[in-house]
Structure 1
Amino acid sequence: MDDQPVLILASASPRRAELLRHAGYEFGIVPAEVPELEWDQLTPVELCQLNAHRKARAVAKHHPDAVVLGADTLVFLDREILAKPSDLEQAAAMLRRLSGRTHQVVTGVSLLHLRVHRESLFAVSTEVRFRRLDEEQIRRYLRVVNPLDKAGAYAIQERGEWIVEELSGSLTNVVGLPLERVERELERFGVRRRGGD
């Protein structure tokens, strides 16, 4: 058995866990019990990096020998953050606003290995352009996809072809974890995929 550090995902997101699993990583899951901050003085990039760091740190304090991965994904349109909708009416209103427009999805990621005093903190941004949606298309999408646990009221991996016209950047970032960058950073922390050298 090699001596690479244990990887812990500080998130209850099934989407992030699925992405890591599909990429071939073995990891534990310890959701961070910290409220996500909302702070107007910070840019969306700064805010999601701050929340990612707070999540990773909360878990790393109890697991200092592990590499802890914290992440926070934000959807924003013209600098306004579109959080998780509180009900279907709000979800429909968000999809109306996104219709025919380009918005940004930013994921902040914190990798923290407390024992060796090491952190990597970064954010990845992806531009997503929506199709023009009419009321029936919006209702149809909301009948099939539960929007209430999703920032911006949509999930690109669930019937994304119904609503998304074009994407510029990382697809996995829009799902919740920019795997291309995460894989490079994990390698620097000595965390390798199953079957990797």
Structure 2
Amino acid sequence: MNASSHNNLYTSVSQLVLASSSPRRKELVALLDLSLPVSVFSVEVDESITADWKPAEAVEQLSMAKAKAVAQAIADNKAPSHIDQHALILAADTVVVLDEQIIGKPRSRAEAVQTLKRLRGREHQVYTGVTLLHPLTEKQRVSHRATEVQMRHMSDSWIEQYVATGESDDKAGSYGIQGKGAIFVDGIHGCYFNVVGLPVSLVAQMLEENFQVNLF
């Protein structure tokens, strides 16, 4: 296939497929107000992090794994019938990092309490990896963003009451900055949406520069 044929495929992307069941990421994609349809279809993948991976590598590798799993499902005719290989897959993965240690989603509410006690009064980093993959041409672009987050000092009681609401259950770092967890955040340096789970400006740049997707 020649280069001009490739470009025609990229500019005629049929839809964007968000490889995530996260309602937060779905809302952030909606902010882009894309000129093409958006579908949601995710596939379970192994989200284990290799011990020698740095945070940026971890989120990029996991986002790639999610995108490739969806691409394989499309190829195997296991995706919804309206999703085909002309779709563009968007996948993301987010982790919290404290003292160079990656912190994922809590496995229990007791673990969530302990995580927040570690984060309080300190600065940590939030990394989100983003992958865009075109199944038909196999063109792939991968990147990430990092944001610094300063947490206020929270009492044990506040932490326990927050965790009891259930908001921390599925959140990297055991808090949601876009929800009740906002009361714990003193400030951020970098992209706010990255902390929520999808760096919108980075996604927009990748769509426009690499896949010629019209954003308006």
Q: Does 1:169 align with 2:190?
A: yes
Q: Does 1:191 align with 2:200?
A: no
2:15 partner amino acid:
V
Alpha-carbon distance, 1:8 to partner: 0.4
Counterpart of 1:47 in structure 2 is: 58
Counterpart of 1:115 in structure 2 is: 136
Alpha-carbon distance, 1:161 to partner: 3.2
SS of the residue 2:136 aligns to: helix
CA–CA distance in structure 1, aligned partners of residues 168 and 50 of structure 2: 23
Counterpart of 1:105 in structure 2 is: 126
Counterpart of 1:14 in structure 2 is: 23
SS of the residue 1:115 aligns to: coil
Counterpart of 2:7 in structure 1 is: none
SS of the residue 2:102 aligns to: strand
| Contact 2:126–2:195 (CA under 8 A) maintained in structure 1 | yes
1:8 partner amino acid:
V
1:91-138 CA-partner distances (Å, limit 9, x unpaired): 111100000111110001110113233111001000101001111221
CA–CA distance in structure 2, aligned partners of residues 88 and 20 of structure 1: 29
Matches within 5 A, 1:132-147: 132-147=153-168
Alpha-carbon distance, 1:10 to partner: 0.8
Alpha-carbon distance, 1:145 to partner: 4.8
1:7-46 CA-partner distances (Å, limit 9, x unpaired): 1011111110111113313311111221112111110110
Alpha-carbon distance, 1:5 to partner: 3.1
| Contact 1:5–1:190 (CA under 8 A) maintained in structure 2 | no
CA–CA distance in structure 1, aligned partners of residues 22 and 166 of structure 2: 16
2:115 partner amino acid:
M
Alpha-carbon distance, 1:89 to partner: 1.3
- Give the TM-score of the pair, scaled to structure 1: 0.91
Alpha-carbon distance, 1:142 to partner: 2.1
Moved more, 89-98 or 33-42: 33-42
Moved more, 112-121 or 87-96: 112-121
| Contact 2:120–2:154 (CA under 8 A) maintained in structure 1 | yes
| Contact 2:13–2:87 (CA under 8 A) maintained in structure 1 | no
* Structure 1 unaligned spans of 5+: none
2:109 partner amino acid:
L
CA–CA distance in structure 1, aligned partners of residues 24 and 102 of structure 2: 21
- Aligned partner of 2:93 among 72, 78, 82: 72
CA–CA distance in structure 2, aligned partners of residues 161 and 110 of structure 1: 27
- Give the TM-score of the pair, scaled to structure 2: 0.84
* Structure 2 unaligned spans of 5+: 1-10, 75-83
| Contact 1:172–1:178 (CA under 8 A) maintained in structure 2 | yes
CA–CA distance in structure 1, aligned partners of residues 13 and 111 of structure 2: 45
